[in-house]
Amino acid sequence: MTSRLTGKVALVTGAGQGVGRGIALAIAKQGARVGLAGRTVEKCEAVAKEIAEFGGEAMALACDVSDAEQVRAAVLATAGHFGGLDALINNAQSSVQRSLEKTTIEDVELSWRSGPLATLHAMQAALPLLRERGGGSIVNFGSTTAIDGSPKFGSYAMAKEAIRGLSRVAAREWGRYGIRVNVVVPNALSPSAERFRDEHPDAFRAMERRLTLGRVGDPEQDIGRAVAALISDDLAYLSGDTLMLDGGV
């Protein structure tokens, strides 16, 4: 562990696996105390145990981000347990992939509720807590599928670009409070990416060859450590920006 984030308290949504787990481990190793929110609380408890094993502090929270009250409760529970809040990391998102021709309103509503609305609800709940601390950092998540216009990601792309717009507005409105808002666009070995790798190894290797750096990112080392930098004082003058952690796509 290092002391870069000692004294800071963060909430990570979708913290039980993949990118969320990687972020939670990375920031805890740098001294942050972490609220771990996820739909499957057992997965978050397992991550909390990992953090405890190297001397960090974390608490697991059951939270379906598509439910506004559960989102608010997770924010308040984290702040209540650790005595405040310095960083909010809105990683969780659900979606269904289909062609635009077959995309349903239910698909769009799922992405909308678990994406932009969940992000907004968490940000609104966190605002007074961050103001009490004299500022803080919010990290939201975009997607290369939205920026590139990847086929079959219509409802997801809509949600992810909405999050980027929301983030830019929040950066403008909340900068006066010392609150920084940035977006990360990751390319990392999530559980779905691992399944794709295992089920379609040739296609996965071909995809990696198209990446400038030749590999898919590691959730902790490549994404988590960058998020740790974003919520630290090292990048205290960065706000309203999108950080492309996509291996050079």
The per-residue pLDDT for range 202-222, each reduced to its tens digit, is: 999 998 998 999 999 999 999
- 9-241 CATH: 3.40.50.720
Beta bridge partners of 33: 9
**Average pLDDT score over residue span 10-18:** 97
Give the domain ranges of the chain.
9-241
CA distance 35 to 14: 11
pLDDT in tens, 102-154: 999 999 999 999 999 999 999 999 999 999 999 999 999 999 999 999 999 99
**pLDDT at position 219, please?**
97
**pLDDT at position 191, please?**
84
Widest pairwise Cα distance in the chain: 52
* pLDDT reading at 32 higher than 80: yes
pLDDT in tens, 218-240: 999 999 999 999 999 999 999 99
Q: Decide if 85 contacts 126 (C-beta within 8 A).
A: yes
Catalytic site residues?
A: 156
Nearest to 186 by CA among 139, 234, 149, 151: 139
Distances (CA, A) of 181 to 60, 88, 128: 24, 9, 15
Average pLDDT taken over every residue of the chain: 96
Minimum mean pLDDT range among 69-73, 80-84, 88-92, 207-211: 207-211
**Average pLDDT score over residue span 79-97:** 97
Q: Given pLDDT bands bounded at 50, 70 and 90, which one contains residue 61?
A: very high
